[in-house]
C-alpha cells in the first residue's frame, strides 16, 4: 500500500510540514476512545528492502536483521492483534530476497528473510500473503509481456516449492497495482486472472489479494460490478489514499461506501481497506521523500471512516512507522514509538466498543 511504485505517480503536492509540526509538538495528545464499531487494524504490509528513499528509515535495519529479529518483528505485530501480513516484494532493484537462478541475491545478514518471517508467522499465528514480483524494473509490459510473465510464474513456482509447506502461507499478493479510473484496464484484469489461475494450480487452498489505488474515483456502478464478477481475486484491499493526499478521511468514507454497495452485489470479493498511516518528510508522493508516521489524530479519523464499510482493515504499514518500545526488532522512524503507543491507548480506551469483525 502501497507507496509501492504507482503511489509515486500521484501529483506532487505540499510537503508534510503540518504533520511534522504535530509529531514534534511538546503537548502529547491523549487518544479518545474508539468510536462505536470502529474496527481494529488486522494486518499490514511488510518489506525486506526497497530501492528508493521512501523506506529510508527502515531499509538498513531490515537488511541487517537476523533470522531471530525477523521472527521477533512478526511477534511484535501479532502481539498488537495483527492477523495478516503482506510481503511487499520478493525481489527489487534487480536483486532477489531468496535463492533463485533468475537474479543475484541481495546482500543481507539473514540468508532467508522470507523463511524466517514465515517461521515466525507459523509460531505466532499470523497469516502471510506472499508477493509474486518483481523480476526487474517495473513498466506496463510487466502485466502481460510473455517473457516477464514466464519469469513471474517461475518465481511463483520457486516460492511455492520453498515455502508453501508453512502453515502461515495463507495467500498470494499481486503487487502490480491497478488504478480505478473508475474501472480497471483490460490488461490489468487479464494479468490478475492469469496470476490467480497459476496460484490455484500451485497452491489450491490459498487466497489472492490485490490493493488498487485510484479509490477516490470509485463509483461502484453497474460497470464496476460487472468487472468484480469477472475479476478472479478473493480480496480487494483498496488504498484509502489519505497518506498520498488524494482524499481526506471524510472523502474516503464516501468512496468506501460506494464500494461497499458494489461488493454487496458480488460477495465473493471481500472488501478490505489499505489505510495509509504515513506522512512525508519531504515533498509528498516523491520517491526521494522518506515516509514518516502520520499524526495519530489523522490515523484515528481514517480508521473510523472506513470501518462501517469494510470487512477488515490493513495498513501501509506497521514496519517502520509503528514500533514497540524496547523491541529487539526495531526498524523505523523514532516517532514510530508514539504512533504505536497512541494506537494501543486508543484501542484500550474503547475495547468494549471494538467491533470483533
The domains of the chain are located at 5-10+42-350
C-alpha span between 172 and 185 (Å, rounded): 21
| Region for residue 156 given its phi and psi (left: phi exceeds 0; alpha: psi -120 to 50; beta: otherwise) | alpha
For 39, 220, 224, the CA distances from 262, given in Å and listed in that order, are 21, 5, 7
At 281, list the grid cell: 518528510
Greatest Cα pair distance, the chain, in angstroms, is 56
Q: At what angle do helices 222-230 and 249-265 cross, to 10 degrees?
A: 60
Tell me which residue of 252, 189, 184, 273 sits closest to 224, measured CA to CA.
Answer: 184
pLDDT digit string (tens) for the chain, length 357 residues: 444 434 433 333 333 333 333 333 333 343 444 444 899 999 999 999 999 999 999 999 999 999 999 999 999 999 999 999 999 999 999 999 999 999 999 999 999 999 999 999 999 999 999 999 877 676 677 788 898 899 999 999 999 999 999 999 999 999 988 899 999 999 999 999 999 999 999 999 999 999 999 999 999 999 999 999 999 999 999 999 999 999 999 999 999 999 999 999 999 999 999 999 999 999 999 999 999 999 999 999 999 999 999 999 999 999 999 999 999 999 999 999 999 999 999 999 976 444 444
DSSP 84-105: EEEE--SEETTEESS--TTSPB
The pTM is what? 0.88
User: 325, 296 in Cβ contact below 8 A?
Assistant: no
Q: What architecture (CATH level 2) is domain 5-10+42-350?
A: Alpha-Beta Barrel (3.20)
**Could you tell me the sign of the dihedral formed by the alpha carbons of 357, 320, 316, 192, in that order?**
negative
Ramachandran region, residue 332 (left: φ > 0; alpha: ψ -120 to 50; beta: rest): left
- State the CB neighbour count (10 A cutoff) for residue 141: 14
The number of helix segments (H) and strand segments (E) in the chain equals 10, 12
Euclidean distance between CA atoms 53 and 56, whole angstroms: 5
Amino acid at each position: 500500500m502501497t507507496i509501492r511504485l504507482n503511489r509515486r505517480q500521484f501529483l506532487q503536492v505540499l510537503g508534510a510540514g503540518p504533520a511534522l509540526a504535530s509529531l514534534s509538538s511538546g503537548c502529547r495528545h491523549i487518544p479518545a476512545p474508539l468510536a462505536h464499531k470502529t474496527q481494529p487494524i488486522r494486518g499490514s504490509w511488510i518489506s525486506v528492502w526497497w530501492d528508493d528513499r521512501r523506506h529510508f528509515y527502515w531499509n538498513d535495519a531490515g537488511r541487517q536483521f537476523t533470522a531471530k529479529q525477523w521472527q521477533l518483528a512478526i511477534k511484535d505485530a501479532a502481539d498488537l492483534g495483527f492477523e495478516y501480513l503482506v510481503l511487499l516484494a520478493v525481489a527489487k532493484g534487480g536483486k532477489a530476497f531468496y535463492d533463485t537462478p533468475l537474479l543475484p541475491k541481495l546482500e543481507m545478514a539473514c540468508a532467508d528473510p522470507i523463511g524466517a518471517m514465515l517461521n515466525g508467522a507459523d509460531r505466532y499465528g499470523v497469516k502471510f500473503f506472499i508477493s509474486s514480483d518483481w523480476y526487474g524494473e517495473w513498466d506496463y509490459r510487466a502485466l502481460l509481456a510473455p517473457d516477464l510473465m514466464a519469469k513471474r510464474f517461475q518465481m511463483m513456482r520457486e516460492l511455492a516449492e520453498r515455502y508453501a509447506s508453512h502453515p502461515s502461507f495463507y495467500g498470494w499478493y499481486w503487487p502490480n497495482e491497478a488504478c480505478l479510473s473508475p474501472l480497471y484496464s483490460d490488461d490489468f484484469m487479464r494479468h490478475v486472472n492469469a496470476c490467480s489461475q497459476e496460484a490455484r494450480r500451485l497452491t489450491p487452498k490459498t487466497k489472492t489479494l490485490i490493493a488498487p489505488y485510484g479509490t477516490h474515483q470509485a463509483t461502484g456502478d453497474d460497470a464496476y460490478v460487472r468487472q468484480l464478477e469477472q475479476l478472479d481475486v478473493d480480496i480487494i484491499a483498496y488504498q484509502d489514499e489519505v497518506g498520498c493526499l488524494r482524499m481526506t478521511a471524510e472523502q474516503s468514507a464516501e468512496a468506501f461506501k460506494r464500494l461497499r454497495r458494489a461488493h454487496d452485489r458480488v460477495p465473493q470479493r471481500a472488501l478490505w481497506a489499505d489505510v495509509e498511516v504515513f506522512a512525508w518528510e519531504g515533498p509528498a508522493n516523491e520517491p526521494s521523500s522518506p515516509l514518516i508516521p502520520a499524526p495519530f489524530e489523522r490515523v484515528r479519523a481514517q480508521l473510523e471512516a472506513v470501518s462501517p464499510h469494510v470487512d477488515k482493515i490493513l495498513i501501509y504499514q506497521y514496519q517502520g512507522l509503528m514500533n514497540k518500545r524496547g523491541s529487539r526488532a526495531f526498524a523505523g522512524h523514532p516517532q514510530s514509538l508514539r504512533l504505536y503507543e497512541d494506537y494501543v491507548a486508543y484501542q484500550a480506551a474503547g475495547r468494549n466498543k471494538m467491533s470483533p469483525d
